[in-house]
Amino acid sequence: MKTDASTIFLQRLEGGAFALIALWLYSFSGESWWWFLLFILAPYLSMLAYSAGPRLGSAVYNLVHTWVAPVLLWAVAWYANASFLIALAFIWAAHIGIDRGLGYGLKLQSGFRDTHLGPIGGDS
């Protein structure tokens, strides 16, 4: 089943909106923007799991690129009053939102380029 263009557009817009919210929240964290620059690409380390094959690769990548992960980190950090981890959760959420806004979705087991938002690059 193929997702229609208007649905994909709305999902990308939603991702961009979440990225802006995460950036805005990070701005109140009091943490350095150098930390932001250092950690914004860290979730891409999950792509290393593809060296064990597409099944494990997509599972690990998707686990790291779902909204659940930074929300759980935020909740634990908030409970523990760990301000740096709260800021890290905002960075993580910004990463996911930017990815979604650019059209990089959750990976399918069929291949790295295949996502829930369609193929990377828009090829069909």
> Is the distance from CB of 22 to CB of 97 less than 8 angstroms?
yes
Specify if 70 maps to a domain.
Answer: yes
Q: Is residue 123 part of a domain?
A: no
The answer to the question of residue 120 being in a domain is no
Distance CA 62, CA 77 (A): 22
Question: Quick check: 119 pLDDT over 80?
Answer: no
Q: At a CB cut-off of 8 Å and minimum separation 6, what does 98 contact?
A: 15, 16, 19, 40
In a domain, 121, yes or no: no
If one counts the domains in the chain, the total is 1
In a domain, 124, yes or no: no
Q: Specify if 101 maps to a domain.
A: yes
Output the CA torsion 9→110→53→95 (10° steps).
0
Q: Does residue 105 form part of some domain?
A: yes
pLDDT in tens, 19-78: 999 999 999 999 999 999 999 999 999 999 999 999 999 999 999 999 999 999 999 999
Give the domain range for residue 40.
5-115
Q: Is residue 122 part of a domain?
A: no
Placement of tokens 């860290």 in the chain: 42
